[in-house]
Structure 1
């Protein structure tokens, strides 16, 4: 029958605007949390802007309550927790917009894919991560 997963994950996301001439407006930001390719939780972030050449940090709280897991997935998660290294994936979808001068607006979608390894519960601190963002 499987098991039920409760998860409480907080991520400090860094949104960087390397462009030194324009501000970037993020009008749509969704982050999804996965374990072993299984969807666990999602979070919408309110629109915000990142001024030219700056970074903005967002404290993103992802919470899952009673997510059904298969027997195989439950065993894999338990094995990772017992080993002290739990692997998660975060996928993000962002709509970004820049204004060049007063007339030209440039809008585009960004996709982020991050792989994270955290310590086992209850502490679960970040051990390692790798993130890639593409248009």
Structure 2
């Protein structure tokens, strides 16, 4: 006996189709896991090993040298020499017309080495005399050495010959001589070589001194202010 067919109405079919559309879709399948491709491990070449060893040894030497320099610096405590105007005499000053100046000054300088464990050598030295920013005279000094803790007196003869001054500076110099107070500036430059055992190093040192003297012919030093750099 044949199976009877069940006929459904169009409304029932439409209802079932709408119900199927409202059902959630199944989630998509997960993507396949990526496959890791392992590269073959490369061996370090002997040249790379040698370069690494050289760099490590150089870095170690730098660290050791820095530590040694630091220990020596803390033990020695190096200090720069000092320059001071111990005395000065203004022997003569003549202001001519037009504004030119002739002058004569004797400077007694005291140069000392404050280091207790280091000797110094002054390879070159120059002393300059200024008035109002204008250079009046210059004198070079011969090289000399100082042992640790030693001081030395140096006589410097500063002669000004036919130095042309601006009119305002010439008037200022005449007024200072009339007031019995003449102000000069001393600038000195030294090339110093410090010696510690087998180690030598050089540097430049400069000193600046402001001098106040009485008027010539027997001008004496009444005030000074010196600084060393």
Q: Deviations over 1:55-108 (max 9, x none)?
A: 01100001011111121111100010000000000101100111111x210211
Question: What is the root-mean-square deviation of aligned Cα atoms in Å?
Answer: 1.0
Report what 2:87 is aligned to.
none
Higher strand share: 1
SS in 2 for 1:78: helix
8 A contact 1:26–1:49 mirrored in 2: yes
**Unaligned residue ranges in structure 1 (runs of 5+):** none
Structure 1's consecutive aligned runs of 4 or more residues displaced over 3 angstroms after TM superposition are none
TM-score, normalised via structure 1 length: 0.95
1:2 deviates by 3.7
Q: Note the 1:76-91 alignment, pairs <5 A.
A: 76-91=172-187
TM-score, normalised via structure 2 length: 0.57
Deviates more, 1:62-71 or 1:75-84: 62-71
Larger radius of gyration: 2
Higher helix share: 2
SS in 2 for 1:18: coil
Query: Whole-Å Cα distance in 1 between the matches of residues 161 and 124 of structure 2?
Result: 24
Query: Whole-Å Cα distance in 2 between the matches of residues 2 and 104 of structure 1?
Result: 55
